[in-house]
Amino acid sequence: MPDLQTIVEDIHQALLPRLGEGAVADYIPQLAKINPKQLGIAVATTGGELHLAGDAATPFSIQSISKVFMLTLALGKVGEGIWKRVGREPSGSPFNSIVQLERENGIPRNPFINAGAIAVTDTVLAGHQPREAIGELLRFVRYLADDDTVSIDDAVARSETQTGFRNFALANFMRSFGNIDHPVEHVLGVYFHQCALSMTCAQLARAGLFLAARGANPLTGHTVVSAKRARRINALMLMCGHYDGSGEFAYRVGLPGKSGVGGGILCVAPGVASVAVWSPGLNKVGNSLLGSEALEMLAARTGWSVFDM
């Protein structure tokens, strides 16, 4: 097999003629301004290698990928108690659907759809002011990435706050069922800022390494979560990480992953590597079109699919 650097460069080169395919998330005005003709790939191995191609050093809004990090914090605070408020099953519905939430009495199907992530954020907010909870998440992600330049894009956070009417509806609906404890504006203030985390593919790949290495950062030896918890987070990413496109992603790529409408995808090859891709154009279910194809090509070239291991 060719070396990883050659593989990621080959994939980038193969997709170059297709840059710009898909549609940017124009319902968030700040994201509508992004140049869609970009593609970054970063592979961080558990052995300490970092392989980059394309726009891997360009910061982008990670959006729902942040839900993985917030879930990790919530599990650290309340452990398995989080599952009293959020389910662990695929939704089969759009990420911002309210219909399923009503039918299931305010308990979101999983922590990666918007309603579930909002409930998780409410858990992390306990005992904090919103600014403190945002700071806790930012410190955690900087620690994981080993990079203090990771930041929050305030313009994106403002843009989401001004247009996030459906998220306000979801949060208020859950509060009516007693599944949101804090004022909705506080919870969503934290939620919109977490989604506005700005990272490069290189930073994001490094931040996900603990999920590829049984819960520990292989570069420092520091334990982030237990091996059992890392395995369970990966399981949720495989089943639920791409909204109602999760089955298709598992079928084509075969790796745990979490997408964001900013065009990023974090993927985990257990025991081997953490991978981040970014291309702003989205497919019809809100996942990066070229990013998904890049990961399918990577899994095929490397044999990293969990169904091959």
CA atoms of 248 and 119, how far apart (whole Å): 26
228 flagged as catalytic: no
CA atoms of 155 and 181, how far apart (whole Å): 27
64 flagged as catalytic: yes
Active-site pick, 43, 261, 268, 277? 261
191 flagged as catalytic: yes
**Tokens coding 243:** 């909204």
261 flagged as catalytic: yes
Q: What is the largest CA-CA distance in the chain?
A: 56
Active-site pick, 43, 61, 66, 67? 67
Judging by DSSP bridges, how do beta strands 197-199 and 273-278 pair with one another? Answer: unpaired
CA atoms of 52 and 45, how far apart (whole Å): 12
Active-site pick, 8, 43, 120, 191? 191
84 flagged as catalytic: no
Please say whether the beta carbons of 47 and 274 come within 8 A. Answer: no
Active-site pick, 8, 43, 61, 64? 64
Type of residue found at 42: A
Q: Residue 24 contacts by C-beta under 8 Å, 6 or more apart in sequence? A: 31, 32, 34, 36, 263, 280, 281, 282
Active-site pick, 120, 124, 150, 243? 243
Annotated catalytic residues are 64, 67, 191, 243, 261
